[in-house]
Amino acid sequence: MKEADIVVIGGNNAGHVAAEVARKYYKDAKIVLIRKEKVVLCPCGIPYIFGTLKSPEQAAYSDRYISEHNIDLIIDEVTSIDRDKRTITTLKGETIGYKKLVLATGSQAIVPPIPGVDLENVFVAKKDIDYLRGFLEALDKAKNVVTIGGGFIGVEFSDEFRKRGLDVTIIEMLPHCLQLVFDLEFCIMAENKLRQRGIKLMTNTRAKAIIGERKVEGVELADGEKIPADIVLLGIGMRPNTELAQKAGLKIGETRAIWVDEYGRTSDEDIFAVGDCAEKRSFFTGRPIPLGLASIATNEARVAAANLFGIRRKNMGAVGAFSTIIGDSGMGKVGLSEKEATDLGFEITTGETIISDKHPPAMPNSKEISMKLVFEKASKRILGAQIFGGSSVGEIVNILSVFIQKKMTAEEMALCQVGTHPAFTPAPPAYHFVTIAEEAA
């Protein structure tokens, strides 16, 4: 039987970062990383395999840090955990002892209970390089693609399918795409862009069945209409992969993910959980929330890995910073939308602006930025932001995420010192978040 100080199960974002950070804190520890995949893909890069990139391999992570820092990588599947003996057993029959165990088992795609989901050419977002190669081969022979689900997964894949010249339809049961994330006006901006890209949107619409004999031939809607399809993507969302944890008797939380405390510990203090398999708590309320993002996963891994043999870090809760791109337009959000803040009982004030991302607006490649900020009315602290614009959106979201985490007020944001340049930023007198914050202050 092998013995290790630290065993990490799962090799995607959270698992790799947990192993890397553990090595930085525990220089002499014997660390074992076990994962099923020979090649690990960047999850956020998977949609872009189908249009922007040329192959699944271009979305692969490197194992260089693992190999150069004496982390033992085992390609295998863990089938059970014996908490009394502090051992894990793998599919290949290997038993490994641990002092501390990190679960980073991730998530898997939700498959809706409708007829036809088992037909050939029905796909999901799966982190498997061979599966994705098969998906690409099927797309090469396709003309019509139907995406069921108009959230981030469905929108990103659909936009990439259009780059291949395919006819694409999104079916979304809610009134708007991306409605679980953005306020109405930003949903409409996104939908207008999708339509400009040539994507057909069918909102307030439910898929009743996927039809075909052996292969997909179409999708039947609740009203009986049939949409032709050679490929169907199920972009409903993801669910935590907790099977191993449940078999080991670990506590499962309200969102059906593995319960963890603010230090990353499960109900067994020698077992930690990070990433999509671990339950998240809101930065704003402390309540469990169903939110899976690679950025949150790596943050949790940094917290848990540092705490394995002594508490050093605390998870402040998930702020939820993310962005996406539709064609050449970026959009992002961090924190609470106006609707979310109101639903949680916050008394709020909001501010909005539309401004060029370069100055003067006649600068080459300038794009308009639409920004909406949400502040708590009494304290004036920032609660959230939504942005639609160009390629700068992602980093603006990150800056505002820091402001939210530091509980900055409108007054402090209005006096924030920023650097500007005609080629990169809005003009100094009208810098977006400074201008909105001044009005709120």
Annotated catalytic sites, by residue? Answer: 44
**What contacts 24+ positions apart, CB below 8 Å, involve 363-370?**
363/422, 363/423, 365/390, 366/390, 367/328, 367/329, 369/393, 369/396, 369/426, 369/432, 370/186, 370/189
3-class SS of residue 187? helix
**How many residues belong to the chain?**
441
231 Cβ contact partners less than 8 Å away, ≥ 6 residues apart: 121, 122, 123, 138, 139, 142, 144, 145, 146, 216
3-class SS of residue 329? strand
Measured CA to CA, the distance from residue 171 to residue 192 in angstroms comes to 15
Question: What are the structure tokens assigned to 85, written together?
Answer: 């003996």
Q: In what order do the strands lie in the sheet with 78-82?
A: 2-3, 95-97, 87-90, 78-82
Residue spans of beta strands (DSSP E) within 42-98: 71-75, 78-82, 87-90, 95-97
**Beta bridge mates, 145:** 168, 231
CA separation (Å) from 79 to 93, 238, 269?
9, 22, 21
Question: What are the structure tokens assigned to 149, written together?
Answer: 């689900």
Nearest 5°: phi and psi at 311? -70, 125
Measured CA to CA, the distance from residue 340 to residue 64 in angstroms comes to 42
CB 249 within 8 A of CB 271: no
CB 280 within 8 A of CB 255: yes
